[in-house]
């Protein structure tokens, strides 16, 4: 989940619990039951975000002329000068939408045209939004979900006995379970943990949070109005996952505390034999037609390879396996790593520990987003839950500001000659914003500015959203070490110069083994091919991040070159891949075939396309080196286009790109 900036004002104060209902039908009509006119409603509208209210009003009324009165005053996110809507027309909007909500006066009798929706999008984000984004917005913002296969006339019901096994019950696995059931497929989910949530079940360290905004980092079919924070804490995210599992009754098809160990393809039967092990250690073979691997790349945490680590006398923990009973109060703590997890952790524990030393190997760009610490007011929750289309339009604004609206940052400008720390004028402006924030925070600490300032372009590695990280580093009990670690002693950490920091606890915020995408799984395909051997420890390749020739009916989600590393959007990638996979299974079902396999020529052509694109991207800058790249410099993780391009590419398998095995 890459970081992103999103500036959000205080939207609504408490507006009371009055009732409003709306039915938004994709094809034709909108109906609305008027709500009570009340002081709470008036106050809510006074505090509401004006562009979002405008979008909802224009959608419900089709009042294009009134919409255009705002166009000169709304500017793109992060622009200078910022959006500045005159109070007179803002007040007129509040009066109009109050009348609409309380009386129904002005409500259109049909949904707006594509042209009007596109114009609402463009006006309310302050820049042109092209028509290629329409289908994504309709689907991902909940206006017109892409497809409910259970309601498709003439669609062939999946063949009885055709079974799918899903690995993992994190975001992708839960999406797969929801949509497989909707599509009528028999399936089972295998989950190693005791409940759903994946990353958000496992990551429980102090300060854990999400750098993707809440109102976008969620399922498009379950847009939640109950977020407590604009950027969810880890517990917020897990509560959402649990609520989704409850609402859709997902647990009845999940086998918990069970681990998948081996997948073997049988060419004669066109079936996968999946070996699983339960919590008691007993193994079982499950024979299925297809496998969707949703175990994710940030599921296998990585301990640092430092001499003496096993000999330390105190607790040694990883942030991804943080014990709930670890007490740090008054302790001397060493944190190894300075990425996103470390920044969140240190911001949360610095005030309670006696001494904190943070060991930095890699510098990271840090961006301040004042919204990250803001709570969602009860009024905003009420508006999201009750004002027709408000939550849909708010989700669109978040998507635009935190995802594809940021794409220009990662695209190299061939004409850029400014410096080696940026790839374009816009990228340099973002870098200067981050620098100005750092210099302001550490005006009296030039030593920290020197230690923290990267020499590579911003966005070429994952950025950090500051939520207490810089404040923690400025504390007198916190020390940032950038000279490396020689070894771990039983009583502390020794630096290369021989100095020792004596500590009671070592916390490793050292990330995950992202490049070995099969993890510990053994995956045997056609002719005994071994996917782990073919991909090795750091060189995975696939088709659309999902398929590999020689492994029929095996779909590896969130795979090579499918990560949205320009900004937010892993939720969209997961949903899009699940959609494509079910479309692929439907091709098998419709043809009466047994298996789906991507063609070698399509696989090769796709990877050539990715390789040809990468030199245009920031991640191939000479100074960029991150977990997006392997040791040879190849960018194996990142999707080098926009989210809308991934969405449009995964509506259905391209004819000629695959073969069906009869």
pLDDT at 9: 27
Instruction: Tell me if 182 sits within 8 A of 158, measured CB to CB.
Output: no
Classify residue 493 as left (phi > 0), alpha (psi -120 to 50) or beta.
beta
pLDDT at 10: 25
| Positions in the chain short of pLDDT 50 | 1-27
Task: Collapse the DSSP code of 219 into the 3-class scheme (helix H, G, I; strand E, B; otherwise coil) and give the result.
Answer: coil
Alpha helices per DSSP H over 511-592: 531-535, 570-591
- DSSP code per residue over 128-151: ---GGGHHHHHHHTTSS-S--GGG
pLDDT at 376: 84
3 HSE (CA, 13 A, CB side):
26
Q: What share of the chain is helix, strand, coil (3-state, %, to 5)?
A: 35, 15, 45
- Angle among Cα 390, 394, 399 to the nearest 5 degrees reads 150
Cβ neighbours of residue 599 under 8 Å, at least 6 residues apart? 549, 656, 657, 658, 659
In degrees to the nearest 10, what's the CA dihedral of 233, 237, 243, 249?
-160
Instruction: Tell me if 359 sits within 8 A of 495, measured CB to CB.
Output: no
Instruction: Tell me if 40 sits within 8 A of 16, measured CB to CB.
Output: yes
Instruction: Tell me if 12 sits within 8 A of 473, measured CB to CB.
Output: no
Instruction: Tell me if 188 sits within 8 A of 253, measured CB to CB.
Output: yes
Classify residue 484 as left (phi > 0), alpha (psi -120 to 50) or beta.
left
pLDDT at 297: 86
H/E run at residue 272: strand 271-278
Instruction: Tell me if 148 sits within 8 A of 155, measured CB to CB.
Output: no
The burial of 392, by beta-carbon neighbours within 10 Å (0-12 exposed, 13-18 middle, 19 or more buried), is given as: buried
pLDDT at 28: 61
Please give the structure tokens belonging to residue 511: 């990330």
Task: Collapse the DSSP code of 436 into the 3-class scheme (helix H, G, I; strand E, B; otherwise coil) and give the result.
Answer: helix
Instruction: Give the pLDDT confidence of 629-653 residue by residue, as tens digits.
Output: 999 999 999 999 999 999 999 999 9
Query: What domains can be seen in the chain, in order of their start residue?
Result: 21-147+376-405 (no CATH), 160-300+514-657 (3.50.50.60), 309-365+461-508 (3.50.50.60)
Instruction: Tell me if 611 sits within 8 A of 619, measured CB to CB.
Output: no
Please give the structure tokens belonging to residue 618: 């920031």
Task: Collapse the DSSP code of 235 into the 3-class scheme (helix H, G, I; strand E, B; otherwise coil) and give the result.
Answer: helix
pTM of the predicted model as reported, rounded to 2 decimal places:
0.93
- Angle among Cα 553, 556, 561 to the nearest 5 degrees reads 130
User: What is the total residue count of the chain?
Assistant: 662
Cα separation of 276 and 289, whole Å? 16
Instruction: Tell me if 25 sits within 8 A of 112, measured CB to CB.
Output: no
Structure-token match 């002719």, residue found: 527
Please give the structure tokens belonging to residue 191: 């989950």
pLDDT at 162: 97
Q: What sign results for the dihedral spanned by CA atoms 517, 523, 525, 531?
A: positive
Classify residue 292 as left (phi > 0), alpha (psi -120 to 50) or beta.
beta
């Amino acid at each position: 989940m890459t970081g992103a900036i999103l500036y959000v004002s205080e939207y609504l104060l408490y507006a009371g619990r009055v009732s409003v209902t709306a039915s938004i039908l994709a094809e034709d009509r909108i109906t609305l039951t008027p709500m009570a006119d009340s002081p709470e409603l008036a106050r809510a509208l006074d505090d509401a975000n004006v562009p979002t209210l405008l979008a909802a009003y224009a959608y419900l009324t089709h009042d294009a002329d009134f919409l255009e009165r705002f166009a000169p005053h709304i500017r793109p996110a992060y622009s200078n000068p910022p959006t500045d809507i005159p109070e007179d027309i803002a007040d007129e909007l509040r009066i109009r939408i109050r009348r609409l909500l309380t009386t129904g006066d002005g409500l259109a009798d049909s949904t707006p045209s594509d042209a009007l929706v596109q114009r609402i999008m463009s006006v309310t984000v302050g820049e042109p939004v092209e028509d290629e984004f329409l289908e994504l917005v309709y689907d991902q913002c909940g206006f017109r979900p892409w497809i409910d296969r259970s309601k498709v006339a003439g669609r062939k019901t999946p063949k009885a006995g055709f079974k799918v096994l899903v690995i993992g019950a994190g975001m992708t696995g839960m999406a797969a379970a929801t949509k497989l059931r909707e599509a009528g497929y028999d399936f089972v989910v295998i989950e190693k943990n005791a409940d759903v949530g994946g990353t958000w079940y496992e990551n429980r360290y102090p300060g854990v949070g999400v750098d993707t905004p809440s109102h976008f980092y969620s399922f498009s079919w379950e847009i939640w109005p109950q977020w407590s924070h604009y950027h969810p804490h880890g517990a917020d995210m897990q509560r959402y996952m649990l609520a989704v599992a409850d609402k859709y009754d997902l647990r009845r098809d999940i086998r918990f505390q069970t681990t998948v160990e081996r997948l073997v393809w049988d060419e004669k039967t066109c079936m996968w034999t999946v070996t699983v092990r339960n919590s008691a250690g007993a193994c079982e073979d499950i024979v299925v037609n297809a496998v969707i691997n949703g175990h994710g790349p940030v599921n296998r945490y990585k301990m640092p390879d430092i001499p003496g680590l096993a000999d330390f006398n105190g607790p040694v923990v990883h942030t991804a396996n943080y014990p709930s009973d670890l007490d740090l109060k008054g302790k001397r703590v060493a944190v190894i790593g300075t990425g996103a997890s470390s920044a969140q952790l240190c911001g949360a524990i610095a005030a309670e520990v006696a001494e904190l030393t943070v060991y930095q190997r890699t510098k990271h760009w840090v961006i301040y987003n004042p919204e990250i610490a803001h709570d969602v007011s009860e009024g905003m929750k009420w508006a999201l839950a009750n004002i027709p289309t408000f939550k849909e339009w708010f989700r669109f604004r978040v998507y635009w500001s935190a995802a594809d609206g940021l794409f220009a940052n990662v695209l190299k400008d061939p004409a850029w000659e400014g410096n080696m720390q940026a790839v374009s004028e816009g990228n340099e402006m973002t870098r200067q914003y981050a620098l100005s924030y750092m210099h302001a925070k550490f005006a009296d600490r030039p030593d920290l500015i020197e230690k923290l300032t990267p020499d590579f372009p911003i966005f070429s590695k994952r950025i950090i959203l500051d939520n207490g990280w810089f404040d923690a580093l400025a504390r007198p009990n916190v020390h940032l070490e950038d000279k490396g670690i020689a070894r771990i002693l039983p009583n502390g950490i020794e630096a290369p110069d021989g100095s020792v920091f004596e500590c009671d606890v070592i916390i490793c915020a050292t990330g995950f083994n992202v490049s070995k995408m099969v993890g510990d799984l053994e995956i045997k395909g056609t002719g005994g091919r071994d996917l782990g051997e073919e991909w090795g420890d750091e060189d995975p390749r696939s088709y659309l991040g999902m398929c590999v020739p020689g492994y029929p009916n095996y779909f590896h989600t969130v795979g090579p070159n499918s990560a949205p590393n320009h900004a937010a959007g892993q939720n969209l990638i997961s949903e899009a891949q699940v959609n494509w996979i079910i479309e692929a299974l439907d091709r098998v079902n419709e043809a009466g075939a047994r298996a789906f396999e991507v063609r070698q020529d399509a696989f090769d052509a796709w990877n050539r396309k990715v390789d040809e694109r990468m030199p245009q991207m920031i991640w191939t800058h000479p100074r960029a080196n991150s977990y997006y790249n392997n040791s040879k410099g190849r960018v194996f993780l990142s999707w080098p286009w926009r989210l809308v391009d991934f969405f449009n590419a995964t509506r259905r398998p391209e004819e000629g790109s695959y073969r069906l095995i009869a």
